[in-house]
Amino acid sequence: MKLRIRRISCHLCLAAAFFLAASARTTIARSDDIGPPKGSQTGQSRPAEAAASHPESGNQFQLRSGDRVVLIGSTLIERDQMYGYLETALTTRFYDRNITFRNLGWSGDTVWGDGWAMFGSPADGFRDRLKNVVAMKPTVIVLGFGTNESFAGKPALPHFVEGLNTLLDALAKTGARIVIFSPTREENLGRPLPDPAPQNERLAIYTDAMRQVAKQRGYRFVDLFTDLIPERMPPGYTPLTDDEMHLTEHGYQRLAEVVDTDLFGPRPAGPTLKPDELEALRHWINKKNELSFHRWRPENFTYLYLFRAHEQPGTAAETPDFEPLVLQAEAEIAKGRQPRGREH
């Protein structure tokens, strides 16, 4: 897991970028019948229909027994699986319900699928990402985009909104309830790091646009830009990023608290886990995420599925062997989430 963290973090290294590309392709065969809806514009012709299908206003949003939650997005989403705090928070809140999570985040991704493109085009990446999501039969989809796109500034905002709506149009065909995360504010850690104010202005504009899209479609929206990193740091504040932009482990712990509260409100009184039991549960969640990562995004992908597959014939058939290991980890999660009758 630590090796993968280093691989994700060193995105400025060209060699690492090619390694990420070679190791980050879906294991499901490409299909030309899945992709951005042809002729799709902004998706605003169906907001009333979406709202009627999935009314998620106020704190009505819930996770139900049998839900399959799939997360897609860029670095914010991908790195969340390394710490497991968000999944742990949602698992313990709904400890009496069988809910599974799959993280398909990919550092550097955009609404157009740039992160998944590898040696192809963003359209190829869009198709492959969508095919993975569909294959997991989601009932809830969490999206976390906008950070990378925001660097293009206000002039590119209409293009981003169109791309976001095109993606949401495609995901709506799954019938899943959809939750949209905004980008996070950049944290002002002082010099020699750059002043984050100009980028935060861009992020605020993109966050507001995402909020409006979510409202038009009747989807739940979590404003991480406003609720996670404060605009002004209070005395004794502990930074949530290590470089103004990327969350630390403490940052992801705080993100889990914000999302849990924003989506579902204050936690009701009731049974809870001891700290050591909570950590044991998070351990199994992290282990499951690691195994799942290797299942759908194995290393040496070029040798397994692409133009060097002839050098290791038959090796690709081994990747499904991760499935029973994932299921074993999920069985441990199911046991570990039970609070055994203790009260707050």
pLDDT per position in the chain (344 positions), as tens? Answer: 433 333 333 333 333 333 333 333 333 333 334 455 444 443 444 443 343 334 444 446 899 999 999 999 999 999 999 999 999 999 999 999 999 999 999 999 999 999 999 888 999 999 999 999 999 999 999 999 999 999 999 999 999 999 999 999 999 999 999 999 999 999 999 999 999 999 999 999 999 999 999 999 999 999 999 999 999 999 999 999 999 999 999 999 999 999 999 999 999 888 899 999 999 999 999 999 999 999 888 887 776 767 677 778 777 777 888 899 999 999 999 999 998 755 44
Q: What is the pLDDT of residue 307?
A: 67
Q: Distance (Å, rounded) from C-alpha 226 to C-alpha 122?
A: 30
Closest CA to 244 of 197, 198, 186: 186
Q: Distance (Å, rounded) from C-alpha 220 to C-alpha 60?
A: 10
**Cα angle value 81/185/216 (rounded, 5°):** 85
Q: Is the distance from CB of 138 to CB of 68 less than 8 angstroms?
A: yes
Q: Distance (Å, rounded) from C-alpha 255 to C-alpha 215?
A: 22
Q: What is the pLDDT of residue 143?
A: 98
Q: Is the distance from CB of 30 to CB of 131 less than 8 angstroms?
A: yes
The 3-class secondary structure across the chain, one letter per residue, is CHHHHHHHHCCCCHHHHHHHHHCCCCCCCCCCCCCCCCCCCCCCCCHHHHHHHCCCCCCCCCCCCCCEEEEEECHHHHHHHHCCHHHHHHHHHCCCCCCEEEECCCCCCCCCCHHHCCCCCHHHHHHHHHHHHHHCCCCEEEEECCHHHHCCCHHHHHHHHHHHHHHHHHHHCCCCEEEEECCCCCCCCCCCCCCCHHHHHHHHHHHHHHHHHHHHHCCEEECHHHHCCCCCCCCCCCCCECCCCCECHHHHHHHHHHHHHHHHCCCCCCECCCHHHHHHHHHHHHHHHHHHHHHHCCCCHHHHHCCCHHHCCCHHHHHHHHHHHHHHHHHHHHHHCCCCCCEC
Q: What is the pLDDT of residue 211?
A: 98
Q: What is the pLDDT of residue 311?
A: 78
The 3-class secondary structure across 128-182, one letter per residue, is HHHHHHHHCCCCEEEEECCHHHHCCCHHHHHHHHHHHHHHHHHHHCCCCEEEEEC
Q: Distance (Å, rounded) from C-alpha 204 to C-alpha 226?
A: 9
Q: What is the pLDDT of residue 341?
A: 59
Q: What is the pLDDT of residue 89?
A: 98
Q: What is the pTM of this model?
A: 0.83
Q: What is the pLDDT of residue 226?
A: 98
Q: What is the pLDDT of residue 260?
A: 97
